[in-house]
């Protein structure tokens, strides 16, 4: 198992990650506390897809005292958005709506430029344009959502990044990210830029505002470094809430990546592409023959189509029935895949419609200079 901001591979043991990263498990008690404010629990919370946190109790303490937090998440534009990215943002939108809070959405368009030899700023500019549409299509409240684009907003961000950078040594990033002397000086500096949105609203408001960052757990090293540095310049440690990865289509291990075309469903895939990918590549928990499957049943716990449905089928009863029918052998792999294909295609038809409408909405989201 390897989990860094730039590589996720192997069988992910989330219990082990909690221990290694030093985060806290989201307990049933904490879920009840959230529910007091939200009225209901998002399926990802009920299903422990959102499974770990840092300082979420403190964020709720402050919230209950009338000291609202803001949300911060982001997307490094280096390829098309796939449905795995969307899941974190859908949960973020739920938090925004339920707690009625601001969201700062960072597009660190220099990150992957610095980390990928061949990626140019022309590439990242194109992906940025496309990726923003996917975020907007999810329906974030434009009055409470601000897009921060690193190269565009550096006039606001660089000074804050320097304040943070002054408190982070090369030893620290070496230990946190496994860098050695062959890394470029932009890569070394970058984590300071990723920390900026956690303090920028406070810096601009001239007062300390709690920050809650929903992210997939591979980004945790950045925020561990940020949590050490930010109190040294007078800010709160940002709190965090972590989700598991949507597994790649081709297997239960690792994290979905747009660069492996057959392992990911992208937001602009056509219904036929979705069908082809799921039918051909979705790692199956089924048996070798229909007869054996009917007799012994399938294994939904390793079946990627089923795993994906836990992210996209909101109805617990329906999901439970699928689980049981597949496990008993009543439901065949082809049928299970068909359910997923239909679910994804309904979801994507709507997303793509909203994505087209988003073209005209970009200016409402990008922070005014």
Q: Does 184 bind a second copy (CB under 8 A)?
A: yes
CA distance 105 to 2: 26
DSSP for 64-126 reads HTT---EEEEE---SS--BHHHHHHHHHHHHHHHHHT--EEEEE-TTHHHHH-TT--HHHHHH
Is there a contact between 71 and 135 (Cβ–Cβ < 8 Å)? no
Q: How far is CA 130 from the centre of its chain?
A: 17
Which of 21, 158, 283, 347 binds a second copy (CB under 8 A)? It is 158
Residue nearer to a second copy on the CB measure, 58 or 158: 158
Which of 19, 25, 36, 159 binds a second copy (CB under 8 A)? It is 159
Q: Smallest distance, Å, CB 42 to a second copy?
A: 36
Q: Does 368 bind a second copy (CB under 8 A)?
A: no
Residue nearer to a second copy on the CB measure, 225 or 256: 225
* Among 6-14, 46-54, 153-161, 315-323, the segment contacting a second copy (CB under 8 A): 153-161
Site string for a second copy, 162-181 (x = CB under 8 A): xx-xxxxxxxxxx----xxx
Is there a contact between 221 and 3 (Cβ–Cβ < 8 Å)? no
| N-term to C-term CA, the chain | 42
Q: How far is CA 14 from the centre of its chain?
A: 15
Q: Smallest distance, Å, CB 177 to a second copy?
A: 11
Tell me how crowded residue 8 is: count the other CB atoms within 10 A of its CB: 20
Q: Does 224 bind a second copy (CB under 8 A)?
A: no
Q: Smallest distance, Å, CB 332 to a second copy?
A: 51
Q: Smallest distance, Å, CB 148 to a second copy?
A: 12
Is there a contact between 218 and 8 (Cβ–Cβ < 8 Å)? yes
User: Could you give phi then psi for residue 322, rounded to 5 degrees?
Assistant: -60, -45
Site string for a second copy, 93-132 (x = CB under 8 A): -----------------x--xx------x-----------
Total binding residues toward a second copy, as defined by CB under 8 A: 41
Where on the chain is the footprint of a second copy (CB under 8 A)? 110, 113-114, 121, 150-159, 161-163, 165-174, 179-189, 191-192, 369
């Amino acid at each position: 198992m390897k989990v860094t901001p730039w590589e996720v591979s192997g069988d992910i043991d989330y219990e082990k990650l909690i221990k290694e990263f030093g985060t806290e498990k989201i307990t049933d008690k904490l879920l009840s506390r959230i529910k007091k404010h939200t009225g209901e629990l998002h399926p990802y919370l009920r299903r422990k897809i959102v499974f770990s946190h840092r300082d979420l109790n403190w964020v709720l303490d402050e919230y209950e005292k009338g000291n609202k937090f803001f949300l911060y998440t982001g997307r490094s534009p280096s390829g098309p958005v796939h449905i795995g990215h969307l899941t974190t943002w859908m949960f973020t939108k739920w938090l925004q709506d339920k707690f009625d809070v601001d969201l700062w959405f960072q597009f660190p368009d220099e990150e992957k430029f610095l980390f990928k030899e061949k990626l140019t700023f022309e590439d990242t500019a194109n992906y940025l344009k496309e990726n923003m549409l996917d975020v907007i299509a999810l329906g974030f409240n434009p009055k409470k959502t601000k897009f921060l684009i690193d190269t565009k907003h550096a006039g606001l961000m660089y000074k804050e990044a320097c304040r943070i950078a002054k408190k982070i040594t090369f030893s620290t990033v070496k230990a946190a990210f496994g860098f050695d002397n062959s890394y470029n000086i932009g890569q070394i500096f970058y984590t300071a830029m990723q920390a900026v949105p956690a303090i920028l609203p406070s810096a601009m408001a001239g007062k300390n505002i709690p920050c809650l960052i929903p992210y997939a757990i591979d980004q945790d090293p950045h925020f561990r470094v940020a949590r050490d540095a930010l109190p040294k310049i007078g800010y709160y440690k940002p709190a965090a809430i972590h989700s598991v990865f949507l597994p790649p289509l081709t297997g239960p291990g690792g994290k979905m990546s747009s660069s492996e075309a057959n392992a990911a469903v992208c937001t602009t895939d056509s219904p036929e592409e979705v069908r082809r990918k799921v039918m051909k590549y979705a790692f199956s928990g089924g048996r070798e023959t229909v007869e054996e499957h009917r007799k012994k049943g399938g294994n939904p716990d390793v079946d990627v189509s089923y795993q994906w449905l836990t992210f996209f089928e909101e109805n617990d009863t329906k999901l439970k029935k699928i689980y049981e029918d597949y496990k008993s052998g009543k439901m065949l792999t082809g049928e299970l895949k068909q359910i997923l294909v239909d679910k994804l295609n309904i979801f994507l038809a709507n997303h793509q419609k909203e994505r087209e409408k988003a073209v005209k909405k970009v200016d409402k989201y990008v922070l005014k200079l």
